[in-house]
Amino acid sequence: SRSIDLAVIPGDGIGQEVVTEGLKVLSAVLPQDVKLETKEYDFGARRYRATGETLTDADLDSLKAHDAILLGAIGDPSVPSGVLERGFLLKLRFAFDHHVNLRPSKLLPGVATPLAGQPEIDFVVVREGTEGPYTGNGGTIRTGTAQEVATEVSVNTAYGVERVVRDAFARAQARPRKKLTLVHKNNVLTFAGHLWTNIFNSVAEEYPEVTTEYIHVDAATIYLVTDPGRFDVIVTDNLFGDIITDLAAAVSGGIGVAASGNINPARTYPSMFEPVHGSAPDIAGQGKADPTATVLSVALLLRHLGYDAEADRVDAAVAADLTERADLPPRTTAEIGDALVGRVTG
Amino acid sequence: SRSIDLAVIPGDGIGQEVVTEGLKVLSAVLPQDVKLETKEYDFGARRYRATGETLTDADLDSLKAHDAILLGAIGDPSVPSGVLERGFLLKLRFAFDHHVNLRPSKLLPGVATPLAGQPEIDFVVVREGTEGPYTGNGGTIRTGTAQEVATEVSVNTAYGVERVVRDAFARAQARPRKKLTLVHKNNVLTFAGHLWTNIFNSVAEEYPEVTTEYIHVDAATIYLVTDPGRFDVIVTDNLFGDIITDLAAAVSGGIGVAASGNINPARTYPSMFEPVHGSAPDIAGQGKADPTATVLSVALLLRHLGYDAEADRVDAAVAADLTERADLPPRTTAEIGDALVGRVTG
Ligand SMILES: CC(C)[C@H](C(=O)O)[C@@H](O)C(=O)O
Ligand SMILES: CC(C)[C@H](C(=O)O)[C@@H](O)C(=O)O
């Protein structure tokens, strides 16, 4: 008999609320014979304030044993900026080698967008997750003085770039439009830029059916608002991916519906699925958070674990819910979750 | 009697066309007693192909003697990515210490924007121009092999950050809304991020009337499309500034109307004014380029040289032209220039 052993990290702010709904939908959609086991971990601001710990080696050992991780949100104004991001979120992505950070953007009919004319948007960003300016390399000298120098080092390896570029080509090949865009800034960041561009061009030779293009990150933000339909699959570095996926989320329904997977394709460690949005402490505990991004992250999780039909049902439920939303009065977090449960079981 | 000694760098692609119109407007708007002298420099792809040179010490010596520089656009597909950008554009910005890269965004009534609902947009980005990931620090080892490592080092100094932050506070103080937003990614790039944030907070104490806020660069791209009216003055690092000013241009009328000044406020070297757009080789020589961004850059140049009334007249001419544009048939580059000349002299 099949089973899913899931680590659940509700985290801070609205994290608990959205994760609750994500789990409801997950239980509802799974076939009867699949045993779902969940273990909740109390990581985040509360634990940091109580113990000073963000993510210990023992924590990583426990998490490692699960099939996958579902995360709500991490971050709280009571904790200095960077402590939980570097000490928990990034530490976990790096420790579990989550090098494919997958972020789909799809604007569904009727869903609100800040763009005029309801353009067609349906692309996926493959963001590198373990290198670039996110490595924490760098430092300061003469800290706090008028002579301070602070550096941030973007580290890019052929190994790290090639594996994510390959993953993106395979995804592009599997989609009807078969188009892959490399986003970088190779006219200024020439060392890393040439590495990315050379590897991209050389892997492209193995995928003659995939149409390729290169766009600078600054120009990419223009296209994301003037012509988002041009994108099918985008592959990009960790920082550029962070920036353009927030913009992509904004134009394709908002971060309330933006899902992401921090994926280790080799499955040497469990992958982690989380909404793109943060902990939104201003609306926490009020039932105002939209659990849709978490539910869509559950769909990514299902697909990663091989439950494709179930993932499709979750995606379809969300699509139906979103397109009808414009005609409905505002609903609570739980009401949206219940509606989605109704759709996946109905 | 007064005079302006201007270096003119038409550059590549549409550069020549737009600069011609910029100069027409400049001559037209200047009072009779101001003598305008211009010297044209043939920098860019043509010269690089002919001589292998981008910008020599002798070039810098010649340019140094002028009061200011007007640049069209640099870049051509015949030249490998990075050669002219690093070897000319960035070399010049660094050599002449253009640390304030000023990029205003104003959406005029009736001007096309990809955003629904024609939001109010009127802000200016103060982008740092001489540090950050643009310094060219970094390198590669095992270049071209499967073991290549490429690094890019973002260099940030208290000296460099403080002067641009001070410039931005002074600009915010002088504007009606008196609001300044720091855009960075201090939760991930903690070394540089804390330097920027600490300096920002400490200079803020000297400007009690200025309202301040901090926004991560990823979230800033969301606000730029969902709530651009929230911004008044933004100060940010070189790379983040590059990215968000292209997006800002896109939402506030397009890069056809986005101006920029590469300013050395201490006036130890001439400042340089240029449209944000590139050389657009696909439409070069066809009279299709919009010279508006160059003309608005001329307004920034006039203001920098103390011709405030003339700068105001150029801005007003452009505003009038843009608001009437929707009702007009498409015009050539020269026709738009002539219309603006008519307005500043009329
Ligand atoms: C919170 C932060 C560390 C994170 C990132 O920058 O990756 C977030 O913005 C995201 O996109 O998941
Ligand atoms: C061409 C390039 C070097 C330049 C930059 O990145 O600064 C351009 O994008 C700009 O914004 O002026």
Choose the closest CB to B158 out of A148, A151, A190.
A148
Report, as an integer, the average pLDDT of B313-317: 98
Q: Please say whether the beta carbons of A225 and A251 come within 8 A.
A: yes
Confidence band for A110, pLDDT divided at 50, 70 and 90: confident
Distance separating alpha carbons of residues B69 and B153, to the nearest angstrom? 29
- Domain assignment present for B127: no
Burial string for B75-92 (b: 16+ CB within 10 Å, else e) reads bbeebebbbbbbbbbbbb
Q: Is A246 annotated for ligand binding? A: yes
Confidence band for A319, pLDDT divided at 50, 70 and 90: very high
pLDDT in tens, B47-62: 999 999 999 999 999 9
Confidence band for A234, pLDDT divided at 50, 70 and 90: very high
Domain boundary among A252, A287, A321: A252
The answer to whether the Cβ–Cβ distance between A217 and B243 falls below 8 Å is yes
Side-chain-side CA neighbours of residue A148 (13 Å): 20
Q: Which ligand is nearest to the CA of B93?
A: 2
- Atom of ligand 1 at shortest range from CA of A86: 3
Report, as an integer, the average pLDDT of A97-112: 94
Q: Please say whether the beta carbons of A290 and A278 come within 8 A.
A: no
Q: Please say whether the beta carbons of B325 and B110 come within 8 A.
A: yes
Choose the closest CB to B192 out of A150, A219, A243.
A150
The CATH number of the domain where B75 resides is what? Answer: 3.40.718.10
Confidence band for B17, pLDDT divided at 50, 70 and 90: very high
Choose the closest CB to B243 out of A139, A194, A221.
A221
Q: Please say whether the beta carbons of A151 and B131 come within 8 A.
A: no
A122-128 and B35-40 strand pairing = unpaired
Please give the model's pTM, rounded to 2 decimal places. Answer: 0.97
- Domain assignment present for B124: no
pLDDT at A140: 98
Domain boundary among A252, A275, A308: A252
Instruction: Judge if A211 and A267 occupy the same domain.
Output: no
What string of H, E and C letters represents the secondary structure of B65-117?
CCCEEEEEECCCCCCCCCHHHHHHHHHHHHHCCCCEEEEEEECCCCCCCCECC
Residue A185 is among the residues annotated as catalytic for this protein? yes
Size of interface A-B (CB pairs under 8 A): 216
Angle at CA of residue B322, ends B258 and B168, nearest 5°: 35
Instruction: Judge if A80 and A119 occupy the same domain.
Output: no
Closest by CA to A38, choosing from A14, A64, A67, A17, is: A67
CA of A242 to the centre of ligand 1 (A): 6
- Domain assignment present for B53: yes
The answer to whether the Cβ–Cβ distance between A250 and B222 falls below 8 Å is yes
Instruction: Judge if A125 and A100 occupy the same domain.
Output: no
Residue B242 is among the residues annotated as catalytic for this protein? yes
The answer to whether residue A109 scores a pLDDT higher than 90 is no
Task: Please give the helix or strand (H or E) that residue B156 lies within, else none.
Answer: strand B149-157
Phi and psi at B212, nearest 5°, equal -120, 155
The SS3 of residue B143 is coil
- Domain assignment present for B82: yes
Within an 8 Å CB–CB cutoff, is residue A112 touching chain B? no
Instruction: Judge if A220 and A313 occupy the same domain.
Output: no
**Total domain count, chain B:** 1
Instruction: Judge if A117 and A246 occupy the same domain.
Output: yes
pLDDT at B1: 72
Residue A134 is among the residues annotated as catalytic for this protein? yes
Within an 8 Å CB–CB cutoff, is residue B289 touching chain A? no
The answer to whether residue A39 scores a pLDDT higher than 80 is yes
Q: Whose Cα sits closest to atom 7 in ligand 1?
A: A242
Q: Is A75 annotated for ligand binding? A: no
Confidence band for A135, pLDDT divided at 50, 70 and 90: very high
- Domain assignment present for B281: yes
Q: Is B246 annotated for ligand binding? A: yes
The answer to whether residue A326 scores a pLDDT higher than 90 is no
Instruction: Judge if A33 and A156 occupy the same domain.
Output: no
- Domain assignment present for B44: yes
Residue of A nearest to B188 (CA): A82
Q: Please state, in angstroms and as integers, the Cα–Cα distance from residue B83 to each residue in A186, B38, B52, B56, B137, following that order.
A: 10, 27, 10, 14, 15
Residues spanned by the domain of A339: 1-106+258-346
Report, as an integer, the average pLDDT of B274-296: 97
pLDDT at B327: 87
Distance separating alpha carbons of residues A6 and A1, to the nearest angstrom? 16
Instruction: Judge if A220 and A151 occupy the same domain.
Output: yes
Q: List the 190-229 stretch of B: residues with Cβ below 8 A of A.
A: 190-195, 197-198, 217-219, 221-222, 224-226
Q: Whose Cα sits closest to atom 11 in ligand 1?
A: A242
Domain boundary among A197, A226, A252: A252
Instruction: Judge if A127 and A223 occupy the same domain.
Output: yes
Q: Please say whether the beta carbons of B287 and B332 come within 8 A.
A: yes
Which DSSP string do the residues of B5-51 spell out, in sequence order? EEEEEEESTTHHHHHHHHHHHHHHHS-TTPEEEEEE---SHHHHHHH
